[in-house]
Each structure stands twice: as structure tokens, then as C-alpha cells.
Copies of this chain bind each other. A is one copy, B any other.
Amino acid sequence: MPVASRPAPTFTETARRAQLIEAAIDTVNEVGYHRASLAEIARRAQVAKSAVLYYFPSKEALLLHVVEHVFTALDERLVVAVAAASGAVDRLRTYAETYIDYVDTHRSELTAGLEIVVSHRTPDGTPLYLTGAEEDTALLRRILGEGMEQGLFRRMPLRTAVDIVEAVLDASATTLQRDRHADLAPFRDQGVAVLMAGLAAPTRS
């Protein structure tokens, strides 16, 4: 029984917001964050500019909503998938494969979300990926930390390991930015293989 501090959204509202988020995603993908103006977004949604601001308090809020929308869903998917795996190695592989699968099946969302994360700045110039970065990577940090502790993964600063894994996984989206219809299978197979082999604790010889 949720306490509704603000009234439950109407059917139209839910639909419109979804439509606008979709339009924002399309716009960012087609013209880039830099040129994704309210006018462009409204044009794609086939509504007036002011209608966008009727459902979102500002253009910024809409774009941040896109980011939240995309990465919350991704994170939920990852949490569920990883929970079904046991052992750091298996969990990491599951994490990586699930991540790339998600990118594969949510191409436009992911490319737009990443472009916004990379390009957006708060009014004082701080990029988005600096705010709340800790919690965003919590799951990955846990897997990698655990694996290193158990001697399964190459020892290195957690931060570094996270950066490397994310760099490779996000590269799958970059591939799509280059060609939105690209086949992600080779990247999934080889990218994950490289990560697993690269991160595996080196064997004494």
C-alpha cells in the first residue's frame, strides 16, 4: 500500500511520458546530445515543444530520466542474472554476458543513455559519471573485489578493474553507434573471453 504523496499518474500521463522518453532517445541517437533540442524532441514526438515541458519539468529532467530509465533496467537485469551464478568467475562472466545481451536487445536505449552520460554536464561543469558513480558500479565492485580476495582474479586496485571491465562492455555500445544494425555476437563472445582471460589470476610458472 504505497502512500501517494502525489496523485497516481493518469493513463495518458504514463503513455505520454513513455512516448517522450522514446522520442528523446531517438533524437539523441540521430543528432547527438549536443543537438538534441526540445524542438527536435517535440518534433519526433509529434507534439508541441510546450507539451514536453508539461510532462517533464525541464529538458534536463527528461534526459536524466532517460538515463535513469535505461540504467535502472540494466542494473536490475544484472542483479537478477548474477544472483543465479555462483563463484566470482562465473558471476563475472554472467555479468559481462548479461550486460552485452542487454545492450544487444536495447540498442537505441543504451547508445542514447551512454551518450547522455558522457556528454551531459551539471551547470557547474561536472560530468554525469562523477555523481553517484559508487553506487552505480556497486555490483561489479563486489564481484571483482570478492574474486581478487579469493585469488581468482589478477590483483589490482578495484577502481582500475572496474574501469577496464566497463570500458570493454561499453565498447559494445560504441560498436552500435557506428552501425546500429551491427551483429554483436562476435563482440559478446570475444569481448567476454578477453575479459575473463585477462582478469584471471596469472598462473605461477
**A154 engages B119 (CB within 8 Å):** no
Closest to A130 in B: B178
> How many of chain A's residues have a CB under 8 angstroms from any CB in B?
46
Please encode chain A, from 35 to 74, with 1 for each CB lying within 8 Å of some chain B CB and 0 for all others. Answer: 1000000000000000000000000000000000000000
Q: What residues of B have a CB within 8 angstroms of the CB of A34 in the complex?
A: 33-34, 119-121
Cβ 8 A contact of A156, one of B30, B160, B186: B186
Partner of A191, one of B31, B160, B178, B191: B160
Question: At the interface with chain B, which of A15-23, A76-84, A195-203?
Answer: A195-203
Report A116 CB to chain B, min CB distance, Å: 11
- Which A residues have a C-beta under 8 Å from some C-beta of B? 30-35, 115, 118-121, 125, 127, 129-130, 133, 154, 156-157, 160-161, 163-164, 166-168, 170-171, 174-175, 177-178, 186-187, 189-191, 193-200, 202
